[in-house]
């Protein structure tokens, strides 16, 4: 905790770049600051302290850091600016050299943020506190509350995979997990606060159990975790943020198909539909295995929503490789794609691969897959028409409409009804709006929730 007798800081603003895991950790740090006496404000407001949780996945995230530092100093030129997170671990000296950055905290040090806030005088040069990544061998729990509707609960951190395009293992360290008991306690506490849905997050959540209790022995498996969470009575829904296809075992699919609380929504990273490229990416499966997983899900959950991550423009990806991948994705019974344009990352093994795909070709391929994703999402939405969806509504009023998600991740819009905020309504999905969201026809009456 911060020593309040040694500072005059009153307000703090935090900003998150990157994944849901980063959001959960930022939210936890914000709670630490509040307990220490800070008043947290929006990042667009003037504050005494600005904390930016960085991401290292893409070059765009790197550039965003510079923009956010400038934004913070425009609000308050005397503010103390701290950069934390993955990019801060990988490139601490580079970030410390940015004009206006006062402190950089690495993978382990970020969890001790308040301990470093003893002297908040602006620095002439950024102060760096970053250990070797091998020292990031302990686990810190975290969760984020997205209002009262949805929470992101961290269950795992780090990664033991060696994908050639990725630097996350260098930024977060080895795979390690929270204890089952602690996760269950947090889930129950989150549910007791009125939150209806919890999203399980981590770097590689399917690897859950490794390193639990601070040791190397796997105390539990991911299957054990979801089986235990399925019995938590205070939470209506659990959703898995993302899971590697080779870790999504048949037992897990069968359990979710019969689950009381886990929803039929799966996000499985594919990265490429070409086995040649998958091999060069050092992925642990082939496209046939991925297709088999999709078929297994659909066999027991025909209405399940399945999404995929895809990287375009990976080094050595020829036009033939890309078209092979495009056709594979086109034929897959999936609902949407998250498309990433390959970005060179210092320290990644893929930097050694040649030839490099030109940027204009990367952009063209990315646009082709984004268009394919839009077509697949609309096709999936059309397949859901006239079904009864269990819609969890959120609390924001956007131009007279409220929004929410069905259990299988169909995004819904409906005329604003304050009584429906943070409730699950059984509704017939009857039309697709111009913005792609499925709506409830005014002529349809909602079906009461049992």
Q: For residue 29, give every residue at least 6 positions away whose Cβ sits within 8 Å of its Cβ, in sequence order, or none.
A: 14, 51, 53, 84, 110, 111, 113
Res. 384: pLDDT tops 60: yes
Mutual orientation of helices 180-192 and 222-229 as an angle, nearest 10°? 30
| Predicted confidence band of residue 441 (pLDDT cuts 50, 70, 90) | low
* pLDDT of 450 above 80: no
Residue 63: is its pLDDT beyond 90? no
The residue ranges of DSSP E strands in 11-101, in sequence order, are 11-16, 39-40, 49-54, 80-85
Q: Is the pTM of this model over 0.95?
A: no
187 neighbors 121 (Cβ within 8 angstroms) = no
Share of the chain above pLDDT 70, in %: 94
d(CA 232, CA 18): 29
Dist CA 107 CA 109 (whole Å)? 6
d(CA 157, CA 176): 5
Q: Is the pLDDT of residue 94 over 90?
A: yes
Our measurement of the distance from residue 97's CA atom to the centroid of its chain's CA atoms, rounded to an integer in Å, reads: 29
Given this model, what pLDDT does residue 5 score? 39
Q: What is the mean pLDDT of the chain?
A: 92
Specify whether the CB–CB gap between 385 and 406 falls below 8 A: no
The closest alpha carbon to 270, from 245, 305, 240, belongs to 245
How confident is the model over 414-424, as a mean pLDDT?
A: 94
Contact between 384 and 429 (Cβ < 8 Å): yes
Predicted confidence at residue 132, as pLDDT, reads 85
pLDDT at site 449: 45
Round to whole Å and give the CA distance between 225 and 206: 10
Lowest mean pLDDT among 74-88, 367-381, 431-445: 431-445
Residue 62 near residue 24, CB atoms below 8 Å: no
pLDDT-derived band at 444 (thresholds 50, 70, 90) equals very low
pLDDT for res 445: 45
């Amino acid at each position: 905790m911060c020593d309040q007798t040694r500072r005059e800081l009153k307000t703090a603003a935090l900003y998150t770049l990157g994944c849901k895991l980063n959001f959960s950790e930022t939210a936890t740090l914000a709670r630490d600051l509040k307990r220490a006496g800070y008043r947290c404000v929006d990042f667009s407001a003037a504050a005494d302290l600005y904390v930016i949780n960085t991401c290292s996945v893409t070059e765009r995230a790197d550039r965003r850091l510079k923009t956010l530092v400038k934004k913070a100093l425009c609000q308050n030129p005397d503010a103390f600016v701290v950069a934390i997170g993955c990019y801060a671990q990988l490139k601490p000296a580079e970030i410390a050299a940015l004009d206006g950055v006062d402190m950089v905290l690495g993978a382990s040090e970020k969890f001790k943020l308040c301990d470093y806030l003893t002297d908040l005088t602006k620095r002439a040069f950024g102060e760096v506190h970053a250990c070797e990544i091998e020292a990031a061998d302990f686990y810190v729990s975290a969760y984020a509350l997205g209002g009262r509707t949805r929470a992101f609960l961290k269950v795992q951190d780090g990664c033991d995979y060696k994908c050639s395009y990725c630097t996350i293992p260098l930024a977060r360290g080895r795979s390690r997990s929270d204890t089952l008991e602690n996760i269950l306690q947090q889930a129950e506490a989150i549910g007791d606060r009125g939150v209806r849905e919890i999203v399980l997050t981590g770097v590689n959540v399917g690897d859950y159990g490794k390193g639990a209790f601070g040791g190397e022995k796997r105390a539990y498996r991911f299957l054990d975790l979801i089986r235990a969470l399925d019995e938590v009575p205070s939470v209506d829904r659990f959703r898995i943020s993302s899971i590697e296809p080779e870790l999504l075992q048949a037992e897990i699919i069968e359990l979710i198909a019969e689950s009381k609380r886990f929803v039929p929504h799966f996000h499985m990273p594919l990265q490429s539909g070409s086995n040649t490229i998958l091999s060069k990416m050092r992925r642990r499966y082939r496209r046939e295995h991925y297709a088999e997983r999709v078929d297994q899900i659909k066999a027991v959950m025909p209405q399940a929503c399945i999404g995929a991550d895809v990287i375009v423009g990976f080094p050595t990806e020829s036009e033939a490789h890309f078209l092979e991948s495009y056709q594979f994705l086109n034929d897959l019974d999936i609902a949407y794609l998250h498309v990433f344009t390959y970005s060179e990352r210092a320290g990644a093994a893929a930097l050694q691969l040649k030839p490099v795909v030109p940027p204009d070709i990367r952009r063209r391929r990315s646009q082709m897959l984004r268009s394919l994703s839009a077509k697949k999402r609309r096709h999936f939405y059309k397949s859901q028409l006239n079904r009864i969806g269990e819609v969890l509504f959120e609390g924001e009023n956007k131009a007279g409409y409220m929004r929410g998600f069905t259990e299988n991740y169909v995004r819904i819009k409906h005329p604003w009804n304050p009584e429906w905020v943070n409730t699950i309504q059984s509704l017939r999905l009857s039309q697709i709006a111009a913005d792609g969201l499925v709506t409830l026809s005014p002529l349809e009456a909602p079906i009461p929730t049992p």
